[in-house]
Amino acid sequence: AQKITQTQPGMFVQEKEAVTLDCTYDTSDQSYGLFWYKQPSSGEMIFLIYQGSYDEQNATEGRYSLNFQKARKSANLVISASQLGDSAMYFCAMREVPRANAGKSTFGDGTTLTVKP
Amino acid sequence: DAEITQSPRHKITETGRQVTLACHQTWNHNNMFWYRQDLGHGLRLIHYSYGVQDTNKGEVSDGYSVSRSNTEDLPLTLESAASSQTSVYFCASSEERDSYEQYFGPGTRLTVT
């Protein structure tokens, strides 16, 4: 079974600084995908970034980057130059890639990020 | 523009009643999913479907059922609502079985009194 652990229930960061949100995972699968979602107070789930288990380079999407360390089974999200609008709950998720089970996601419990002006 | 919608957005019901939450997507995606999110936690998979007439149980399927009669819709039914099913329900869809992105609906907040 897959498991996602986010050990930081809440994080604070000063505006314009960088912040790292931790995520560790556990799986016996060789092929999987790791995701980060943002959930603002309005409640919708916003896809941020994806990392495949066989991708050799860390994924980046604008101010978001994923620090993928496969041997440590960690997939930390780095947000550079934080903005007030980044204040939200952030979820790390994992999905099995093999065809028979693809699409089913396992989510962590989330980290609430607060950006201070 | 293609989208995924859920209705109702808010629902209050009584214990023991049958409730159906609607999910409709215009992406023409084969894969559709239902998750629930309890306060302060991440999403947990209830049911999913890989195409018409295909349904599968997820991690927390007890007390819920789904049916898939067309590509666009995956309604979620609570057979006999319980207070433990008070939650926010998210529907999602994705294009292919190994597609990495899921598109989420806006969520339905269900309260069972």
Task: List, for residues B44-63, the tens digit of each pLDDT value.
Answer: 999 999 899 999 999 999 99
Distance from B73 to chain A by nearest Cα, in Å? Answer: 17
pLDDT surpassing 70 at residue A101: no
pLDDT surpassing 70 at residue B30: yes
**Residue that has been written with the tokens 């409640």 in this structure:** A43
Mutate to test the interface with A, among B6, B9, B98 (most CBs of A within 10 A): B98
pLDDT per residue over A14-72, tens digit each? Answer: 999 999 999 999 988 888 889 999 999 999 999 999 998 888 899 999 999 999 999 99
Q: Cα–Cα distance between B5 and B10 in angstroms, integer?
A: 13
Q: Say which of A52, A105, A108 has its CB closest to residue B102.
A: A105
Q: Please enumerate residues of B whose Cβ is less than 8 A from a Cβ of A.
A: 31, 33, 35, 40-45, 48, 50, 58, 88, 90, 92, 94, 96-104, 106-107
> What was the pLDDT predicted at B98?
54
Q: Which residues of chain B are within 8 Å of residue A95 when distances are taken between CB atoms?
A: 100
Query: How many Cα atoms within 13 Å fall on the side-chain side of residue A20?
Result: 9
pLDDT per residue over B78-103, tens digit each? Answer: 999 999 999 999 999 987 655 567 88
In the chain, the amino acid numbered A4 is: I
Q: Say which of A33, A45, A109 has its CB closest to residue B100.
A: A33
pLDDT per residue over B9-23, tens digit each? Answer: 999 999 999 999 999
Distance from A109 to chain B by nearest Cα, in Å? Answer: 4
The four Cα atoms B50, B53, B56, B57 give a dihedral, to 10 degrees, of 140
Contact B32/B46 with Cβ under 8 angstroms? no
